[in-house]
Amino acid sequence: MAEIKIINVQKQFGKVVANRDINLTIHDREFMVLLGPSGCGKTTLLRGIAGLDPVDSGSIYIGDTDVTDLPPRKRRIAMVFQSYAVFPHLTIFENIAFGLRMQRVADQDVGKRVEAAAELLQINDLLKRYPAQVSGGQRQRVAVARALAVESEVLLMDEPLSNLDALLRLEMRAELKRLLKEVKSTVVYVTHDQIEALSLGDRIAVMKNGSILQCDTPLRVYDHPANEFIGSFIGNPPMNFLQGAVEVSGSKVNVLAGGASIQPPTSVEGILKQKISSGVRLGIRAENIEVVSNAQKDAMTGKVLVVEPLGSHNMLTVMVGDQRVKVNAHADSVFQPDQTIWLRPAPEKIRWLDVESGVALAE
């Protein structure tokens, strides 16, 4: 059992608060991704779990053990570094064997386990070489094999793919996912790449300015971002945000945005009624907007600004009033810049946010 519990963790570097009162529970064998822009404190948190940078206050549990004051070697963890941190003066075999040697595992077992780890990462034929004699991608595999060989309960990964070129990264991402399903460790994975986070994580903890803003499954984070920042940070293109006015006539609630009168699902009508004076912000993803060719009551009027053919679809940038909206249109659709079109958002896919704070309204 290796559940990781992070309780009220605080970490400061001089005046900069890197981790602000963090609370997070990572379940046994869960793949948790810490996602955020650079400087958000995700690596600090990971290093806190590893014990490389002791936390200022709060506590961290791994399993039932309070590891807050334990050095890294006593935390039963393994870590993959962004720079790989492969030891240049040791052969690849000895690199992978390093953790086992430190545990004083018998020689023949070391051999077997190194072979097994190397097998998993398909680097068996490199074992006798030195790190300088293999490519960057292979060195990365060595770093992962070295972490897997110790069979620790917790595996920490700090942007392990960020130094690979795009194609290799794609390949390695899928391979990592396959591998880590097999090893049954609890994984904490730091990245600033939202696609990596969506594709790998069981859950994603989105961080900004030292705090966790939302921690949920990839789909929930994508579909139901907790605030405007998350909506625009995750997903490509970012979520569209529009200003809307709430209109109540009798028992019916309507939201006016970009010239469209949208009828919200009944579940949010109650909350929207409280926003008559302030208005509301609508968050809608590019793929949830339908392009229609003539004016309709529930469609916004817009003018095409840019058409980007992306193969699988065309991405349109449309001016709705003075706001830019990204829309996915069918691949064989034909649009010209300056053409007037109508956009119909799917009401059930709209996220309703507070105008002031950008925080999602409870549904």
β-strands 260-262, 211-216 pairing: unpaired
Residue 15 CB-half CA count within 13 A: 0
| Residue 47 or 169 having the CB closest to other proteins | 47
- What minimum distance in Å lies between the beta carbon of 95 and other proteins? 9
Which residue among 156, 255, 291, 327 contacts other proteins (CB under 8 A)?
A: 156
Residue 114 CB-half CA count within 13 A: 24
**The tokens 């079109």 sit on which residue?**
341
Footprint of other proteins on residues 43-82 (CB under 8 A)?
A: 50-52, 71-73, 77-79, 81
Q: Is 207 in the site for other proteins (CB under 8 A)?
A: no
Q: Is 15 in the site for other proteins (CB under 8 A)?
A: no
Q: Is 42 in the site for other proteins (CB under 8 A)?
A: no
Collapsed DSSP state (helix, strand, coil) of residue 60: strand
DSSP string, 327-351: EEEETT----TT-EEEEEE-GGG-E
Q: Which residue stretch of 125-133, 199-207, 215-223, 330-338 sits at the interface with other proteins (rule: CB under 8 A)?
A: 125-133
Measure CA of the first residue to CA of the last residue in the chain; give whole Å: 35
Q: Among positive and negative, which fits the CA dihedral 267, 270, 276, 277?
A: negative
| Residue 159 or 216 having the CB closest to other proteins | 159
| Residue 163 or 243 having the CB closest to other proteins | 163
Separation in Å, CA 183 to CA 82, 191, 282: 21, 20, 42
Q: Which residue stretch of 95-103, 177-185, 209-217, 218-226 sits at the interface with other proteins (rule: CB under 8 A)?
A: 95-103
Which residue among 83, 263, 278, 357 contacts other proteins (CB under 8 A)?
A: 83
Residue ranges in contact with other proteins by CB under 8 A: 50-52, 71-73, 77-79, 81, 83, 85, 87-89, 98-99, 102-103, 130-133, 146, 150, 156
